[in-house]
Amino acid sequence: MTRLPFLSAALLLAACASPAPVKIHYPPAETPDASVGAAPVGAVAEQGPFAPNAYLRACYGIRVSNSPIVDKDGWVVNYKPIVVVNGIPLAAAPANDVCLTSGFGQRFGRRHDGIDLQSRPAGTIYASAPGKIIESRVSTGYGNMVLIDHGKGVYTRYAHLAYIQPGVTKGATIGFGQPVGFMGASGNATAIHIHFEILTGDYRNPRGSKGLMPRDPFSFPPYEYAQAY
């Protein structure tokens, strides 16, 4: 029953957008942005093929570490397909038909800065919101990794990619739902999955992305129809 409000929100979005289930109206490129950080929200490339799932469940057959609250059937109670972070609508899970293998927070004595999602077969990983690519590289831990600046102090990270999508290079802009790469197990990963982070703060600090604050993707308010129109 707790999932019903999100279902109605998703249906409402679906009703006004065809064929993509979720169409998000971002500010036009001309919109000035005087907030923290650069203003890449203006980088509104065309929406890609991504269609966020209305629900998210814990994966079958594995023990989900630091799992968020799930209902008796394994559905993540607090999952909202589109959340709003500092006014930026953002997909909370950047791939289709994924399930959750690990939640955000303390895990094995260390902080897990994001969530882990997988699909079988593995699939394309998409940009959670429009933005500017500020990192696109190979990292020892994250493997093939992309970091996107969405403006207003909001960033997302996509890690362990099998490969980074051609054209997804530092300085390039990307639209909501455009491919950033393909799910993989590069870097420090024991299985094929996507490690996804939502970060807030100001990247222009001495520690770069390490100076940003990792946030629980399930902790934000849902995108509401009324907020966008």
Contacts with Zn ion, residue ranges (CB under 5 A): 116, 195
| Nearer Cβ to Zn ion (41/95) | 95
**Minimal distance, residue 112 CB to Zn ion, in Å:** 6
**Minimal distance, residue 180 CB to Zn ion, in Å:** 16
- Distance between CA atoms of residues 224 and 229, nearest Å: 10
| Nearer Cβ to Zn ion (155/223) | 155
Altogether, the residues listed in the chain come to a count of: 229
Whether the CB-CB separation of 151 and 85 falls below 8 Å is answered with no
| Nearer Cβ to Zn ion (29/191) | 191
Instruction: Please work out, in degrees rounded to the nearest 5, the angle formed at the alpha carbon of residue 128 by the alpha carbons of 59 and 18.
Output: 95
Element (H, E) at 84: strand 82-85
| Nearer Cβ to Zn ion (195/215) | 195
**Minimal distance, residue 219 CB to Zn ion, in Å:** 16
| Nearer Cβ to Zn ion (116/149) | 116
Residue nearest to Zn ion (CB): 195
**Minimal distance, residue 146 CB to Zn ion, in Å:** 15
| Nearer Cβ to Zn ion (150/195) | 195
| 173: three-class secondary structure by DSSP | strand
| 62: three-class secondary structure by DSSP | coil
Residue with tokens 């999955």: 193
Whether the CB-CB separation of 200 and 85 falls below 8 Å is answered with yes
Whether the CB-CB separation of 169 and 39 falls below 8 Å is answered with no
Element (H, E) at 227: helix 225-228
**Minimal distance, residue 191 CB to Zn ion, in Å:** 11
**Minimal distance, residue 106 CB to Zn ion, in Å:** 13
Residue with tokens 């051609």: 166
